[in-house]
Structure 1
Amino acid sequence: MAHDSNGLSDRVSRRKFIATTGATGIAAIAGCSEGGSSGGSDGESGDGSSGDGGSTDGGSTEEESTETATEQSLSGEINITGSSTVFPLATAVAEEFQKMHSGVDISVQSTGSGGGFENFFCPGESDINNASRPIKDSETQNCNSNNVNPHEIKVATDALTVIINNENDWATEMTVDELAQIWGPEAGSGQTWADINSDWPDEEIERFGAAETSGTFDYFTEVINGEEGAHTQDYEPTEQDRTIVQGVTGSQYAIGYLGFAYYSQNPDQVTAVAVDNGNGPVKPTLETAKSGEYAPLSRPLFTYPAMSALSEQHIAEFCRYFVEQSANTELVANQVGYVPNSQEEMQTELDELNSAIEEANS
């Protein structure tokens, strides 16, 4: 993946890619390697294995030839389900992996974190499940009952973003309590902006948010409303974040919430709300998410391969590559829109993954 003179065009291409795949919620990455060399990461990734097979120094050594042959010999299918928030990152990583391993067919499907665990991963129908919150104990038990043992990998940090229509000039800053009044279980049809703040318009609030199968739904309700699942039913639920953007764009009195990556691809279409958690309003940015200043809506993002899947070489190598790329600032931050792992975090995740792979093959 060239990140120097082509950085802008890469970024524009990724934005178009997210806009199209985000609407459908599924990406089949087979055949993306045409015309590509090995296309690994830039220097940000800190890896020296899966991501740097493309450069030579003028002569092919026997060792280099062996490495190339090993890379090209990988083949098989990888089925990835889960979080719509992690979807654009997983798809971007899968696309780059395909450039080095054309024999590996990867399908990434946006099903929601919970929907992915319940309907695909725990029943053994997918190899990896992405999640925008940690796996629940009940989900782990469900997986274990089907002899599926998940391994947790932190791949990035998100600034979960509340968005409003660009013509909304009254609620650009909101407290956690005001958000709780809008999104709590008691909020219902007929509630107006003036009901939240008497200085705001006496116009009914239109809500667009994550479906109950989404990890974003779980996380948002827990940190804003104080209890997982404590969420109004009077809203338009969806697993497709692009639909939330479109809904908020279409009404001056609308509000929604979604992963920062989708907002960062549409910064001119909607307005991000600055959230006041008691220390003054803070806008969602990669910097405020990384520092923890954007509270309480900064959150870690995960992917969960099954231990049994890690016994397959092509899946193990993809997971290693995903971990290595989690520290790639150009890919994770600039192209997708999340906070990358630090080099230390990446190495910790890689060490733990390698241990899991060794265990899976023992």
Structure 2
Amino acid sequence: MNAIAKKLAILLGVLAFASSCTATPNSSTETQRSPKVTQVTDSTKVTTIKIDGSSTVYPITQAIAKDYQADPKNQVQVAVNISGTSGGFEKFCNGETDISNASRPILKAEMEACKKNGVAYMEFPIAFDALTVAVNPQNDWAKDITVAELKKIWEPSAQGKITRWNQVRASWPNRPINLYGAGKKSGTFDYFTEATVGETRASRNDYTASEDDEVLVDGISKDPNALGYFGYAYYEKYQDKLKALAIDNGKGAVLPSTQTVEKVQYQPLARPLFIYVNLRDNQNKGLVNKFVEFYIDKAPITASAVGYIPLPNDSKHLNYVHLYQGKVGTVFEGKAEMNLTIGELLRKEGQF
């Protein structure tokens, strides 16, 4: 079977799958069609696919980009940078990047910015994260923490007041508590504040902040009095230098893991991860779509390899359908959803 026939066979298969998922579209989405994924005709041309955004999603995208560029047939450079989810969307909606890594759905203000600048986007969920609260391994007193205690630590009124461990839990020692967390351009900051404090972007400011999770890991690993939060892949990578705390949402303390996310036990800190693709009509479109096709195929294996929770094959099929049909918009309403499960995400995607 030649390459064109294979492509048609794949397309017919995923479109058949899509027909079984048909439902009334979400009111927050808009749909338009685009041509099928095209092949690059000029093999001598080298261009750059620009990607920016979330440090949480970065390990997945960086690994896939490396694999893609290792094939000499792919005459393209893939530049992957970190500026946080919010920082990435600023560039993306200005038309400066082709793909935006995101650890939360696109917000209403960002949707408006994209619309104003004529940037139509496709949304692809690519993995699940178990947002991790961690301390230094020398910390021998804290093994778990409640959502209420996280609120007590991180709410704006705690600034300058909750500064010692025994103020959080009386049985903990009278030692300073040094905080490390996501910077304000990070989607992790948005999600964590809503999940723990109850209001997006409501946080104390007297902590070491960074959009780069590597910086947070480094700080916590060197500070016996530290407590911080970041994406699960960074805990997996550096678990010899960190200690994860079990999260108690009132139903018992649960450690972050693939199993606790899949069993809907690690709440409210389990969350989906995304890439957003600029559906631009220019000479790079075929190159970008070809890379996205490769990304969708490799995402489950790569997500698992770097420490995240892969989505089931149904998600891959739906992503292919949305790519081939040029589905534009979001299945969310400009905000993150707390306690979203993998099954609920798939149902939303199937209705898109």
Question: Above 0.5 in TM-score?
Answer: yes
Work out the CA distance in 1 between the residues paired with 2:194 and 2:134.
19
| Cα drift, residue 357 of structure 1 | 7.5
Work out the CA distance in 1 between the residues paired with 2:42 and 2:101.
25
Work out the CA distance in 1 between the residues paired with 2:281 and 2:89.
15
SS of residue in 2 equivalent to 1:327: helix
Question: 1:124 corresponds to which residue?
Answer: 95
Q: Alignment partner for residue 315 of structure 1, among 288, 302, 315?
A: 288
Q: How does the TM-score come out when normalised to structure 1?
A: 0.76
Work out the CA distance in 2 between the residues paired with 1:251 and 1:321.
40
| Cα drift, residue 74 of structure 1 | 7.3
Task: Name the aligned partner's letter for residue 188 of structure 2.
Answer: T
- The answer to whether the 8 Å contact 1:161/1:257 transfers is yes
Cα pair distance change 1:291/1:74, threshold 3 Å: farther
Q: Percent identity?
A: 38
Q: Alignment partner for residue 113 of structure 1, among 63, 66, 85?
A: 85
Task: Name the aligned partner's letter for residue 346 of structure 1.
Answer: K
The 5-angstrom pairing of residues 1-362 of structure 1 reads 75-100=46-71, 101-118=73-90, 120-189=91-160, 191-308=163-280, 312-328=285-301, 331-333=302-304, 335-356=305-326
| Cα drift, residue 196 of structure 1 | 0.9
Cα pair distance change 1:167/1:193, threshold 3 Å: same
Work out the CA distance in 2 between the residues paired with 1:337 and 1:71.
37
Cα pair distance change 1:102/1:294, threshold 3 Å: same
- The answer to whether the 8 Å contact 2:122/2:327 transfers is no
SS of residue in 1 equivalent to 2:112: helix
Q: How does the TM-score come out when normalised to structure 2?
A: 0.78
Structure 1: where are the runs of 5+ without partners?
Answer: 1-46, 50-67
Task: Name the aligned partner's letter for residue 245 of structure 2.
Answer: V
Task: Name the aligned partner's letter for residue 231 of structure 2.
Answer: G
Q: Deviations over 1:307-356 (max 9, x none)?
A: 1168711100111111111232xx221x2111111111110111111111
| Cα drift, residue 292 of structure 1 | 1.9
| Cα drift, residue 267 of structure 1 | 0.7
Work out the CA distance in 2 between the residues paired with 1:127 and 1:232.
34
Structure 2: where are the runs of 5+ without partners?
Answer: 1-8, 12-38, 329-352
| Cα drift, residue 234 of structure 1 | 1.0
Question: 1:16 corresponds to which residue?
Answer: none
Structure 1 stretches (4+) deviating beyond 4 angstroms?
68-75
SS of residue in 1 equivalent to 2:70: helix
| Cα drift, residue 69 of structure 1 | 9.2
Question: 1:23 corresponds to which residue?
Answer: none
Q: Deviations over 1:23-43 (max 9, x none)?
A: xxxxxxxxxxxxxxxxxxxxx
| Cα drift, residue 245 of structure 1 | 1.1
Q: How many residues align?
A: 292
| Cα drift, residue 182 of structure 1 | 1.0
Task: Name the aligned partner's letter for residue 248 of structure 1.
Answer: I
Work out the CA distance in 1 between the residues paired with 2:193 and 2:54.
16
Work out the CA distance in 2 between the residues paired with 1:89 and 1:72.
27
Work out the CA distance in 1 between the residues paired with 2:225 and 2:303.
32
